[in-house]
Amino acid sequence: MTASSRGAVLRAIVVAIFLIGLGWVFGGQAFLCRIDPALSLPLLAVPMLALAGWQRREAASIRWRTALLSLGWAAIAQALLAYSLSGSTAWAQLALVMFAGVGAAFAADRLVQWRPRLWLLPWLAGLLLVAGWFGAGHALLAILYRPAAAPAGSPAATVLTGLPLRWSGEGDMAAMIAAGMRDDPALARIEAAGPVLLVDSLVDHVPPPGGALLVAHPRALAPRELVAIDAFVRGGGRAVVLADALSGWPARHPLGDPRNPPVTSLLTPLLDHWGVVLGAVSADEIEPETADIDGIRLRLFSAGRFVRLSRQCRAYAHHRILQCRIGRGEVWLVGDADLLFAPFWQPVFPGAAHLGQADTMEWLSGRLWSGAGQRLVHPLWIRRRSI
C-alpha cells in the first residue's frame, strides 16, 4: 500500500468516526435514546467539509475515493450499532443518509477547491453550507417522520374522559371564557389525526359504525354507561381504555374538587366483567417508565399492573398494557392515563416533532383510525430493561 493510499484510509477512518460521533451526541441519538441513522443527516456537511479541507491538495480521484470510503465505513458502523441496540439495521435510513452524504461531499469538495479573490468568501460559503444543510436536513426529517392522518371519510372517534382535555385553562368558567378556548395538547394532537367527538355520555352518543372509542380515566359512570361500553366492544367495536391505578395528572383545583381528574380508576366493574383486575401501584413505582410494544415506545408514569387477565388477552410491558378480544371486538387496556400528559410525549424542542421522546400519540391514532399514525421513517428506540 502506497503512502497516499494509507493516508486516504486514515482520513476515511477518522471522518467515519467523526460522523458517527456527531450523530450520537449532536444528532440526538444518545439524548433521545434513539439510534436512527437518519438523525445524522442534518450534520453531514460538517464532516464532509472537514474531509475536503484535509485533503484539498490531493488529486480528485483520491478525494472522491476517500469520501466514499468514509461514508461506507460510517454506514457499516451505524448498521452494527442500530442492530445491536435496537434489533434493526434500518437499511432505508442508511441508504438515505449515504445518498445525502455523497451530495454533501460534492458540495464540500467544490467549495474547498474554489479559489476566489477574497479569501473570506470560502469561509462564509462554508458557514452557509453548514447552516443551510442543517436546516434543510431537519425540514426533510420533519416530513419523513410526520404521522399520517386518518383517511378522508373516517368515522369520528368517540372520547369519554375525566381528564381536563377540553378547555384546560385554570380558574373559573368566566376566566376560561375570557382567555379563550385552550385545549390540552393531547386532545389537539388527537383531533389533528382524525375526527373526534368528545362526549359526556355514551348512552346518548353511541360510537358510529366502524368508529372507535377512547375511554380515558373517566369519572364514575352509571351502570348503563358501562353496559354501553361493553355492548359497543362486544358488537365488533375497537376501544382504548386508560384505567389509571394512581393518576399523576396535575390537579388544577383544590383537593377534593370534583373538577379534578379521579385519583384512581373507577372502571373496576367493567374490568371485572371482562375478567381483568388492575392492581395497585406500590410506592417505589411512582416514576416515569418506558414500555415497548412491537418497536413502538410509550412513556408511562406510576402505571398499574393487571394482576388478572382472561385467556383472550395478550400482555405487554409486564402486564401494564393488555390487548384483549372481547366478543367480536378488540380493546387495548392501559394501566396508566398519564401517558397522555404532554411532557411525556412532546418533542424536546418545540416545533421539532421528529425529535420526539415517544410514539404515544402515533400509537393511539393507529388504534382509533385505520391507517393513521403511520410514518415513512420510524424511530429506532434503544432497547432498555423491560418493565
pLDDT reading at 60 higher than 70: yes
- Residue 244: predicted pLDDT: 86
- Average the pLDDT over each of 98-102, 188-192, 250-254 and give the range with the smallest value: 250-254
pLDDT reading at 106 higher than 90: yes
241 and 102 inside one domain: no
58 and 207 inside one domain: no
Residue 104 lies in a domain: yes
Q: Which residues pair with 298 in a beta bridge?
A: 291
pLDDT confidence of 48, banded at 50, 70, 90?
A: very high
- Residue 1: predicted pLDDT: 62
pLDDT reading at 387 higher than 50: no
- The C-alpha cell of 50 is what? 472537514
> Each residue of 30-59: b (16+ CB within 10 Å) or e?
eebbbbbbbbbbbbbbbbbbbbbebbeebe
Query: From CA 273, how far away is CA 260, in angstroms rounded?
Result: 27
Q: What are phi and psi of 307, to 5 degrees?
A: -85, -15
233 and 364 inside one domain: yes
172 and 118 inside one domain: no
Residue 385 lies in a domain: no
Show the domain range for 10: 3-144
pLDDT reading at 120 higher than 90: no
Mean pLDDT of 272-297: 84
227 and 254 inside one domain: yes
133 and 198 inside one domain: no
24 and 168 inside one domain: no
pLDDT tens profile 232-259: 999 999 999 999 887 777 766 656 556 6
- Residue 250: predicted pLDDT: 72
pLDDT tens profile 348-360: 888 899 999 899 9
pLDDT reading at 168 higher than 60: no
The CATH number for 182's domain is 3.40.50
Q: Which residues pair with 324 in a beta bridge?
A: 313, 331
134 and 257 inside one domain: no
The single residue listed with the C-alpha cell 400519540 is 361
Query: From CA 314, how far away is CA 58, in angstroms rounded?
Result: 61
Residue 374 lies in a domain: no
Query: From CA 196, how far away is CA 187, in angstroms rounded?
Result: 9
Q: What Cα–Cα distance (Å) separates residue 163 from each residue in 197, 216, 264?
A: 15, 7, 12
User: Helix 91-113 vs helix 45-54: angle between axes, to the nearest 10 degrees?
Assistant: 40
223 and 87 inside one domain: no
- Residue 254: predicted pLDDT: 58
Highest mean pLDDT among 1-10, 306-315, 326-335: 326-335
Query: From CA 35, how far away is CA 311, in angstroms rounded?
Result: 36
Residue 381 lies in a domain: no
Highest mean pLDDT among 119-123, 349-353, 373-377: 373-377
- Residue 361: predicted pLDDT: 95
- Average the pLDDT over each of 124-138, 147-161, 179-193, 286-300 and give the range with the smallest value: 179-193
Pick from 333, 316, 337: nearest CA to 324? 333
- Residue 179: predicted pLDDT: 44
Could you say which of 122, 144, 166 is where a domain stops? 144
Give how many domains the chain has, as a whole number.
2
Secondary structure (3-state) at 43? helix
298 and 166 inside one domain: yes
Query: Which of the two residues, 183 and 376, has the higher pLDDT score?
Result: 376
pTM of the entire structure?
A: 0.88
pLDDT tens profile 129-140: 999 999 999 999
Determine the Cα angle at 195 with ends 363 and 372, to 5°: 30
Alpha-carbon dihedral 332, 334, 339, 341, rounded to 10 degrees: 90
pLDDT tens profile 1-36: 676 677 788 899 999 999 999 999 999 999 999 999
207 and 125 inside one domain: no
Pick from 231, 226, 261, 265: nearest CA to 246? 265
Could you say which of 144, 174, 200 is where a domain stops? 144
Residue 380 lies in a domain: no
Secondary structure (3-state) at 140? helix
Residue 378 lies in a domain: no
Residue 377 lies in a domain: no
- Residue 174: predicted pLDDT: 44
- Residue 176: predicted pLDDT: 45
pLDDT tens profile 68-79: 999 999 999 999
Residue 386 lies in a domain: no
- Residue 210: predicted pLDDT: 84
- Residue 187: predicted pLDDT: 94
177 and 116 inside one domain: no
Provide the total of helices (H) and of strands (E) in the chain, helices listed first.
Answer: 11, 11
